[in-house]
Amino acid sequence: MVGGEFTFEVSDYDEKTGLLNQRGLLKTLTQLESDVPGRFSLLIADLDRLKSVNDQFGHDAGDKYLFDAGTVLSTGVRTERLDLVAARIHGDEFAIVLPGVSDVEILELIRSRVEQKMDIEDIPASIGGRPHKDGEPIDVLLKDSDQMMFLKKRQRRQAAFEALPLPKKVAGWAGSKLLRYAGINPPRQ
């Protein structure tokens, strides 16, 4: 690990995935901020289907889905030259910390690779993030990375909607407007 050794306690780990939890993630980011400011990046991943897995197949299947997602996120792009730290921060959100990665283009390649690997494993996720800036508080990095993830999520939903055949798009538009007119707020496309 770049910047020194980390000491974690049992309470720093997520029981469902075995990855670090939010507390462990914050320890990692704080240590990196101290040891190698501006020389690491953060990606936030939000699983796109956890609720439907839980609803259709039960919470045991949802727990397995979380475990599988954590496995892909923690090993999907790890190489001898690329070290990373993965964490489940809450619900269906995960984080990937990339020590030594501070270039935006390299980070985008990694982000794209992770997203593709998740899609291949049939665990679609929206992933966004950015490099840490020297002197920047960790909470700003977390907030910005989270916002970038939500932007990617909107882009993925829009792309999926655009890929639909025209009759399904029309039905989606009409259905949404009719439901809203009736006072029901359907999920956005």
**Number of folded domains that form the chain:** 1
| Token reading at 92 | 């269906």
Assigned domain for 66 exists: yes
Question: What is the CATH classification number for the domain harbouring 84?
Answer: 3.30.70.270
Say yes or no to pLDDT of 168 above 70: no
DSSP code string of 131-142: EPPTT--HHHHH
Distance between start and end Cα atoms, the chain: 41
Domain encompassing residue 121: 10-156
- Give residue-wise pLDDT tens across range 55-74: 999 999 999 999 999 999 99
Q: Is residue 179 part of a domain?
A: no
Residue 173 lies in a domain: no
pLDDT score of 185 more than 70: no
Q: Which of 124, 23, 112 is nearest to 69 (CA)?
A: 124
Eight-state DSSP code of residue 39: S
pLDDT at 75: 87
For tokens 């985008």, what's the residue?
108
pLDDT band for 160, please (50, 70, 90 cuts): confident
| 26 assigned to some structural domain | yes
Q: What is the pTM of this model?
A: 0.82
d(CA 69, CA 126): 12
